[in-house]
Amino acid sequence: MGSKRTLVPMLGEIATATGSKTALDLFTGTTRVARRFKEQGLAVTAVDTASYSEVFAKTWIAIDAKDCDQNELEDAVARLNSVAPSAGYFTKTFCEDARYFQPMNGEKIDAVRDRIETDYRSTWLYEPLLASLILAADRVDSTTGIQMAYLKQWSKRSYSALKLTNPGLLAGNGVAIRGDAMEIAPQLPSADLAYLDPPYNQHRYFANYHIWETLVRWDAPEVYGIANKRTDVREAEHRSRFNSKPDMPRAIRELIQGVKCETLVLSYNNESWLTRDELIEICSSNGHVEVLDVDFKRYIGSQIGVFNKSGERVGNPGAKRNTEHILIAGDRKMVSSIAKQLRD
């Protein structure tokens, strides 16, 4: 999910070095970065447009583990694991018409998802159970990671039986907001630290993770094409300004001007539409800017190439590595000292 797993320790160090108590994660995705901030004791606000991301943010950021009876969650997970499989929309669409999951797992997903809706909809367990189901499904899928296509041959892990586990709640404070960062950011109170990790090319997350959207919404949408994507992925409301080459520079500039924070951190890919110098110039509205360049292993799909439904290669593998720029903007003394510390 474009997750910043390898950058998380560095972002955690920036939070510590700045002495931040509050943080914004405006494109939170998997919430991996927001979780690190929360684990370090910061009060975090996590924002994203995706429904599945809101489920993750409600689970890991908004819920304070200290306020919950963990046994209730354990019991619910165990109950769901014992639900009898039953084929429905999910099995038909994603296991028979397409081959993202083995039918035995699709039938289980159908049954578990229905049960979450009927038994837990109005309880605090709803989002943690949905998060648990997405994670369980992710462990047995047959893709290279994104849902633009599925593998020609079933992946090894797709043969494993779907099993829900406790998603593991975190203690601490946080807020989950589903919405457009452009609109939400100016309305939020000032934070010590703001982390921005916007999409950096034309690929839309709503389309790349359409199955998680459907699993959360549970709205049995009409689908199209080989990948069986929701027909509404084509609608304008699901396009992000960050996916548009002509509009993206303006969007980033407006966003950064609207975010109220002491220290701003932006991560951006060297294959994006903006150069390093343009990024520095844009971030300088928040103070002095330092850039850290991090070597990054590319998404596996781009290493093995792109295939069509018959398994023929229709795209070539890209370069195996790329660079992620981490821009830190804020008080000169603080930013210079953090950059030095992280470079050493």
Ligand X SMILES: C[S@@+](CC[C@H](N)C(=O)[O-])C[C@H]1O[C@@H](n2cnc3c(N)ncnc32)[C@H](O)[C@@H]1O
34 three-state secondary structure: helix
If binding is defined by CB under 6 A, does position 205 make contact with ligand X?
yes
Nearest residue to 50 (alpha-carbon basis) of 286, 240, 223:
240
DSSP annotation string for 166-226: ------S-EEEEES-HHHHGGGSPPEEEEEE----SS--HHHHTHHHHHHHH-----EETT
If binding is defined by CB under 6 A, does position 93 make contact with ligand X?
no
Q: Rounded to the nearest whole angstrom, what is the least distance from the CB of residue 53 to ligand X in the complex?
A: 5
Binder of ligand X out of 11, 50, 227, 266 (CB under 6 A): 50
Q: Rounded to the nearest whole angstrom, what is the least distance from the CB of residue 75 to ligand X in the complex?
A: 29
For residues 76 and 85, what is the distance between their CA atoms, to the nearest angstrom?
17
Please say whether the beta carbons of 328 and 335 come within 8 A. yes
Binder of ligand X out of 100, 120, 212, 242 (CB under 6 A): 242
Binder of ligand X out of 214, 240, 286, 302 (CB under 6 A): 240
Give the torsion sign (CA, 226, 231, 236, 241): negative
Binder of ligand X out of 27, 120, 150, 268 (CB under 6 A): 27
Determine the interface stretch with ligand X among 1-9, 132-140, 218-226, 325-333 (rule: CB under 6 A).
1-9
Residue 277: both structure tokens together: 């110098």
For residues 128 and 122, what is the distance between their CA atoms, to the nearest angstrom?
12
If binding is defined by CB under 6 A, does position 49 make contact with ligand X?
yes
Return the number of other C-beta atoms located less than 10 Å from residue 113's C-beta.
22
328 three-state secondary structure: strand
If binding is defined by CB under 6 A, does position 90 make contact with ligand X?
no
166-185 residues near ligand X, rule: CB under 6 A = 180-182
Task: Point out the residue whose Cβ comes nearest to ligand X.
Answer: 29
If binding is defined by CB under 6 A, does position 20 make contact with ligand X?
no
Binder of ligand X out of 32, 108, 115, 230 (CB under 6 A): 32
| Chain contacts with ligand X (rule: CB under 6 A) | 1-4, 27-30, 32-33, 47-50, 53, 180-182, 197-199, 205, 240, 242
